[in-house]
Amino acid sequence: MIGQNVLVTGGTGSFGVALIGALLARPDGPAQIVSVSRNAAKRYELEQRYPDPRLIVVPGDVRIDSDLTAAVNGRMIDIIIHAAAEKHVPTGEHHREYVWSTNVDGAAHVIALARRCGAQRVVALSTDKACDPINAYGESKREAERLFLAADDDPYDRCRYTIVRYGNVCGSSGSVMPLFVRQRAAGVLTVTDRRMSRYFMSLSDDSDIGVYQEPRGVRVWSAVGFVAWALAHMNGGEIFVPRLPSATILDLAESMAQGATVIETGIRPGEKLHEDLISASEAERCYDTGAEVYAILSADRQPRPGWVRVPHGWRYHSGQYPQPIRYEVHA
């Protein structure tokens, strides 16, 4: 990565801020990092947090192709990390066109930008909700996945595109943990369904959010660490999925309640009881990489040496083996 230029869309979101901090701290870090965000207040906060001359913070909305062109401003970009997205499930149900414009049109604009600026690699962040989607948000992210995989199949496109698909990031904006912290102060925590389960991962390797380790010692990935792994190991055309622990939302709420009451409010429109990360049809093209990561390959792609195809009929969803989870903020 030494001497390379990196563009981060959604650079002022929870993930973007953590990623940029990790990249700036690397001894082999990039020459420049261009952070694109439509949030003025958060752009200012990012500049104050990382007063580093390698960081260029610019306004831009992925829904607008010309914004990305202006953000690059004629620079050659080697790597694009596409994190910008509209992620709120209820928003998707009530404002479908807005979510589609951000997540699908935004993906198309990133692909066009990668071709214009000579990018070599693109890592696009996806979500468990793109697997067998039942809501507008999931449908938009699944379509975005298809766009990136199609771009990687384009023989005239020299850029390589890879997707990372994972579950809930502990403590990120929009996650349930900060909500429970706020509700705890009022004395009542709300869960939509007592049976509901979700996957969890930390935000960064040095996160102050404590998450549990599975009894068998499976690594608990961080979002930043997983994207860094994908960037280092990608060939293009893969959907990388980490092995993640899962827990019930009720267990999480009760571990955080500290005397507050936990009540059930009913499942919301477009909400799944359990989360899938790999569907039954995708499992037919899925391989265990041996690195606590699964890789879903297109039909014409060959696995790397040492990758093992998962068993026929194998599934990967959060309701299979939910385990105790704890939440703590380290002093």
The residues assigned a catalytic role are 129
Provide the residue count of the chain: 331
| 69 Cα distance to chain centroid | 24
| Burial grade of 30 (CB within 10 A; 0-12, 13-18, 19 or more) | buried
Interatomic CA distance for residues 157 and 160, integer angstroms: 8
Query: Which long-range contacts link 26-30 to residues 24+ away (Cβ below 8 Å)?
Result: 26/1, 28/1, 28/2, 29/1, 29/2, 29/54, 30/1, 30/2, 30/3, 30/4, 30/5, 30/6, 30/54, 30/78, 30/79
Give the C-alpha distances (Å, rounded to integers) separating 328 from 137, 171, 198, 209, 253: 30, 10, 18, 6, 12
Judge contact between 141 and 100, C-beta under 8 A: no
Interatomic CA distance for residues 317 and 271, integer angstroms: 15
Judge contact between 52 and 30, C-beta under 8 A: no
Rg (alpha carbons) of the chain, rounded to whole number: 19
DSSP helix, strand, coil percent of the chain (3-state; round to 5) = 35, 25, 40
